[in-house]
Amino acid sequence: MRDFNFFEPYIRKEKVEKKKKKRPFIIVVVVFLLIGTAYVYRDIIINKITEVIAREEAPIEDERMPELEQKRLELAKLRSADAYLKETNRINEQLLNDITTRVPENAEYDSIRVGELSTEIAGNTKTIELTADYGNALKELEVFEDIYVVSTTYEEEEKRYRYILDIDFEHIEKSSQDDVPADDDLEEDAGEVDE
């Protein structure tokens, strides 16, 4: 036989209510755990970033620093000299192109030697007049001041005249010597340089 318990529905209802009361408590605990974990994770990230920034801002203590500073000064010296050379250099591709394009039709050049103050052109022509024509064509260039025919010789084997032209550049006078970077000034700025 079976016992009847008339209070059983009331007892079950209490168990269900206890389970329902536990759910919000568990949700609140989980939310607090997530917030705490996020806070700790954020704090760890901020500390790592702070360490990286501190390392980046810290002065570099390296035995190569004086050498690096010396190289920087040498580079500044070279840049200054390069700028000066670009400003005062008369020898460039345009000048060489002008020299080679002014060669008369029956004339050739064998060599061109270009120096700071003068240029020497050696070559050969069919007639001696072509040498003079070539010299006159080069006089048209503003860069050259004086053009001399140093020598002309006739070579019977080739039946041509060999010539040598000596050409002096036009003298450029600077208004002041302050424009030219003095080596002494550069040495003072750069310190001692090992060569």
| Predicted TM-score (pTM) of this structure | 0.45
Give the pLDDT confidence score for residue 94 in this predicted structure: 80
49 and 113: one domain? no
Q: Report the domain count for the chain.
A: 2
Same domain, 98 and 161: yes
Amino acid present at 2: R
Query: Digits of tens for pLDDT over the chain (195 positions)?
Result: 677 766 666 666 655 556 666 777 888 899 999 999 999 999 999 999 999 988 887 766 667 778 888 999 999 999 998 888 777 766 777 878 888 888 888 888 888 888 777 889 999 998 888 888 888 888 888 888 888 888 889 888 888 899 999 988 876 554 334 444 444 444 444 444 443
Based on the fold, state whether residues 53 and 115 are members of the same structural domain.
Answer: no
> Contact 142/174 with Cβ under 8 angstroms?
no
Q: In terms of domains, do 157 and 109 share one?
A: yes
- Exposure letters 107-129 (e unless 16+ CB within 10 A, then b): bebeeeeeeeeebebebbbeeee
Residue 77 is assigned to a structural domain of this protein = no
116, part of any domain: yes
Structural domain for 45, as ranges: 1-59
What is the reported pLDDT for 102?
86
What is the CATH number for 165? 3.90.1520.10
Angle between helices 65-88 and 183-190 (to 10 degrees): 160
